[in-house]
Structure 1
Amino acid sequence: MSYAIVGFGKIGQALAQAFARKNINVTVASRRPPEELAPQAQAIGPTVTPKSLQDALRADIIFLAILFEQHPEVAKAMRNWQGKTIIDTTNAFGVPPEDLDGLPSSAFVAKAFDGAKLVKGFNHLGAGTLATDPAVEGGHRVVFLSSDEEDAIVPVANLAKQLGFAPVNLGKLNEGGALVQARGRTWGPLIFQDLFKKQQ
């Protein structure tokens, strides 16, 4: 399984740190050329490799660590997203619900990535919290996952565990997933909740 992070701002770098902490290879890309990302990537760790957007999109699982309004631009980079899993870390705070056709923001994002399986996840924590070690005092920091395709959750939950997090499946995007999605200028009730789960 190969992994990429599209977007190398605060959230993208926080995710890259999670991969580096566990020595898991990840490709990073942004609108900036790879050579501009290289110093930050090298500072994070040797398993973080900057590449062009096209090269990064060859990965099996792709984190969208960009602003919500940038997702159509990334979606246009490939004609067919079949076989890809997209982890949507975006937050559509401030976007009027009518601009989303009445859909949860992640369901709206999913429409742009035709053929991909989309999982909402890793979006409810601020970058500073996400960047810290998720293993604390015998527990693991929770990440909430939701998707309209149940089989998409399993590989993302496995990755979350590998990275040291405790995945919690909220179900479908418009059901439990609504708890981690902004609607207009209202945050979902689980956004910013920094929770831990004890090891079994």
Structure 2
Amino acid sequence: MSYAIVGFGRIGQALAHAFARKNIDVTVASRRPPEALEPQARAIGPMVVAKSLREALKADTIILGVPFGEHREVAKALPSWEGKTIIDATNAFPVPEELDGLPSSAFVAKAFTGAKLVKGFNHLGAATLATDPVVAGGHRVVFLSGDDEDATARVAALAKQLGFAPVKLGKLDEGGALVHARGRIWGPLIFQDLFKKEP
């Protein structure tokens, strides 16, 4: 399984730290050329490699770490996303009117034709996400929701590998609504920093 993070701002770098801690290879890319990302990628760890967006999108699993409004530009980079799993770590705030009443991730999913999209890693602030998730005798929780059970299971396995405790919330229109901002109000589970104790 190959992984890429698209977007190398605070969230993208926080997630890159999570991969580096566990010595898992990950490609990072953004609108900037890879040379511009290389110093920061190298500083995070040797497993983090900056590449062009085109190269990064060859990965099986792609984490969206871009601002919400930029997801459509990323989606245009491939004619079809068949066979790809997209992890949507974006937050739409304030919620644009154009979402047609959909949770933001269901709206994002429409842009990535053929992909299996899982909402995840979006409810923690970047500073928290960047730190070791093994804390207080347990693991920091990440909430996941998606319409494809196999894809959600794969993302849950990745979350576990990264040291997090995945909690599945159901489908995008169910659990996704719990981490979806409404108007100027954050979803009920946004910014909830929870821990799951070891059994």
TM-score, normalisation: structure 2:
0.98
User: Residue 124 of structure 1 corresponds to which residue in structure 2?
Assistant: 123
- Work out the CA distance in 2 between the residues paired with 1:69 and 1:183: 16
Match of 1:27 in 2: 27
Please tell me the root mean square deviation across aligned C-alpha atoms, in Å. Answer: 0.7
The gaps in structure 2 that reach 5 residues or longer are: none
Structure 2 letter corresponding to 1:196:
F
Per-residue deviation at 1:177?
1.9
Q: Give distance in 2, aligned partners of 1:7 and 1:115.
A: 21
| SS class of match (1:146) | strand
Identity among equivalent pairs (%): 78
Report what 1:59 is aligned to.
59
Give the distance between the partners of 1:65 and 1:143, measured in 2 at CA.
Answer: 15
Q: Work out the CA distance in 2 between the residues paired with 1:187 and 1:86.
A: 23
Report the Cα distance in structure 1 between the residues aligned to 2:102 and 2:147, rounded to whole angstroms.
12
Report which stretch shifted further, 101-110 or 174-183.
174-183
Partner of 2:197: 198
Task: Supply the AA of the counterpart residue of 2:161.
Answer: Q
Q: Which residue of 1 aligns with 2:78?
A: 78
Deviates more, 1:122-131 or 1:171-180: 171-180
In structure 1, how many angstroms separate the alpha carbons of the residues matched to 2:78 and 2:38? 24
- Runs of at least 4 residues of structure 1 off by over 4 A? none
Q: Distance in 2 between matches of 1:53 and 1:196?
A: 34
CA shift at 1:102, angstroms? Answer: 1.2
Question: 1:182 Cα shift?
Answer: 1.0
> How many residues end up aligned between the 2 structures?
199
TM-score by length of 1: 0.98
- The correspondence of residues 30-179 of structure 1 with structure 2, limited to 5 A, is 30-96=30-96, 98-179=97-178
Question: 2:57 & 2:150 partners in 1: Cα distance?
Answer: 21
State the shift of 1:13 in Å.
0.2
Letter in 1 for 2:24: I
C-alpha separation between the residues in 1 aligned to 2:2 and 2:69? 26
1:143-167 deviation digits (Å, cap 9, x = unpaired): 0000111221011000000000000
Task: Tell me if structure 2 keeps the 8 A contact 1:92–1:184.
Answer: no
